[in-house]
Amino acid sequence: MDRKILVLGEIRNGALRNVSFEAIAAAKIAAKGGEVVGVILSDHASDFAEEMIAYGADRVVVVEDEKLKTYTPDGFGQAFLQVINAEKPEGIIMGHTALGKDISPKIAAKIESGLISDTIAVEIVGDQVVFTRPIYSGKAFEKKIITDGIKFVTVRPNNIPPLEKDENRSGEISTFAADIKDLRTVIKEIVRKTSEGVDLSEAKIIVAGGRGVKSEAGFKPLQELATALGGAVGASRGACDAEYCDYSLQIGQTGKVVTPDLYIACGISGAIQHLAGMSNSKVIVAINKDPEANIFKVADYGIVGDLFEVVPMLIEEFAAVKQS
Ligand code: FAD
C-alpha cells in the first residue's frame, strides 16, 4: 500500500530547524516506500521548499500567508488542518519542539487521531512500524505501533539521523491557498531572552552549569568553553533558582530535554530531575569536586576537581588542538 506521510517543516530564526530533516528521515521509514510530503507554513514558505526536498521530501506543499509570519496556534492550526484535509495522509510527523508540542495535540484532537509524542526511534519490525519513546523521565522506553487511523508522531530533536543533504534530489513544489480567519492571537513583538547562537534543544555539544558555578560571572568560562566547541550553554534548575542564569537554559524534568553528542556537566550534583533532561546524551562528562556526586553515575568520563580550574584547562587544551 502506498502511504503518504506529511512532515511539518519548522522555521526558526530564518532557517528550517534540523529536527524537520530528522522528521523527514522518520517519515521515510514510516512511509515504507510511500510518499513523504513536506509542509511549510510561513509568510515566505517557498524559500525553504527546496531544502526539504534536498533532505528527502518527495514533494512540498507551501502555504504562504502574512498571517503565518509568526507562529500562532490559531493560524498554523487552521492552515495545517486544511492541508491535512486536502492531502488525506496516512501519517503526520513533526519535531517535538515547543511548536510541535503545542500544535500536535490540538490537530490530533481535531482529526480524532492518536498521537505518539517524543519519539526517539522509528523502525520496521515484521510488517509493523514501531515507534520508541522514553517514559518515566527516561528511566524506561516503550515501543508503540498504530493499528488503526493516522500515524501522528512527534520526534525528539537529535535522535533520528537526518538523510544526507542532496541538492540533486528533485520534487514538486506546490502552493496551497489556506483560508485563515478570525485569528484570536496577534504576535506584536518577540523578545528573545537568550542570546543568538546555537539552539540549546538541538545543540550537538552542551556545557551545562549548576549551583557549583556560584555566580552569573561563573558562567563566563562555561560560555567560553561552549563557544570553543561550537556548542550551547545549559543549566540546572539549581543555577536558575540562584539567578546565575535565565530559566530558558534549564535542562531537566521541568526544563528542556536534550540529547547532544556531548554533555559537559559542571558543578551539577545530578539530581534525578536534572538527569531526566540529559541522561540520554551520547557522551556525558561530569566535572564535580565531590567524588560521591550522583552525576558520576551517569557520566562516561568523570573529572573530580574544581570546575574553575578544570574548565580553563579544557579551553586551553581545545584551543591547542584546534591550532595544531
Ligand atoms: P546542587 O545539588 O546544589 O549541586 C551543586 C554541585 O556542585 C554539588 O554536587 C557540588 O559538589 C558541586 N560543586 C560545588 N562547587 C564546585 C566547584 N567549584 N567545582 C566543581 N563542582 C562543584 N533540577 C534541574 O536541574 N532541572 C529540572 O528540570 C528540575 N525540575 C525539578 C522539578 C521538581 C518537581 C523538583 C522538586 C525539583 C526539580 N529540580 C530540577 C531540582 C533538583 O531536584 C535539584 O535541586 C537541582 O537539580 C540541583 O541543582 P544543582 O545540581 O546545580 O545544585
Q: Which residues of the chain does CATH 3.40.50.620 include?
A: 4-175
pLDDT at 197: 67
Index of the ligand 1 atom closest to the CA of residue 306? 19
Q: On the CB side of 323, how many CA atoms lie within 13 Å of its CA?
A: 6
Q: Which atom of ligand 1 is nearest to the CA of 308?
A: 18
What distance in angstroms lies between residue 108's CA and the mean position of ligand 1's atoms?
36
All three cell numbers of 52: 526539504
224-236, pLDDT tens digit by residue? 999 999 999 999 9
User: In this structure, are residues 115 and 152 in contact, taking their beta carbons and an 8 Å threshold?
Assistant: yes
Q: Tell me the C-alpha distance between 84 and 88, whole Å.
A: 6
What is the pLDDT, as a whole number, of residue 137?
81
Contact status, residue 284 vs residue 299, Cβ threshold 8 Å:
yes
Q: What is the pLDDT of residue 115?
A: 96
* Fold type of domain 4-175: Rossmann fold (3.40.50)
DSSP secondary structure letter of residue 154: E
Instruction: Please tell me the predicted confidence (pLDDT) of residue 173.
Output: 98
Q: Output the pLDDT for position 2.
A: 59
Find the residues whose C-beta lies inside 6 A of ligand 1: 210-212, 236-239, 250, 252-255, 267-269, 271, 273-274, 277, 287-290, 293, 306-308
Quickly count: other Cβ atoms within 10 Å of residue 26's Cβ. Answer: 31
- Return contacts of 276-279, CB within 8 angstroms, 24+ apart: 276/137, 276/138, 276/252, 277/251, 277/252, 277/253, 278/206, 278/208, 278/234, 278/251, 278/252, 279/138
Please give the Cα distance from 6 to 309 (Å, whole number): 50
* CATH code, residues 200-323: 3.40.50.1220
CA distances 103 to 79, 136, 308, Å, are: 11, 23, 42
Do 56 and 160 touch, CB atoms closer than 8 A? no
Averaged over successive runs of 10 residues, the pLDDT of the chain (324 residues) comes to 87 94 97 96 96 98 96 96 97 96 96 95 94 90 93 95 96 97 88 72 95 97 95 97 95 94 98 95 97 98 98 94 82
User: Which residue among 251, 288, 310 has the greatest number of ligand 1 atoms within 8 angstroms of its CB, and so is best to mutate?
Assistant: 288
DSSP 294: G
| 3-class DSSP assignment, residue 134 | strand
Residue 309's CB is within 10 A of a number of other CB atoms, namely 11
Q: Looking at residue 201, what DSSP letter applies?
A: G
What is the location of CATH 3.40.50.1220 in the chain? 200-323
SS3 (DSSP) at 76: helix
The residues near 192 (Cβ < 8 Å, ≥ 6 apart) are: none
Of ligand 1's listed atoms, the one at least distance from the Cα of 211 is 52
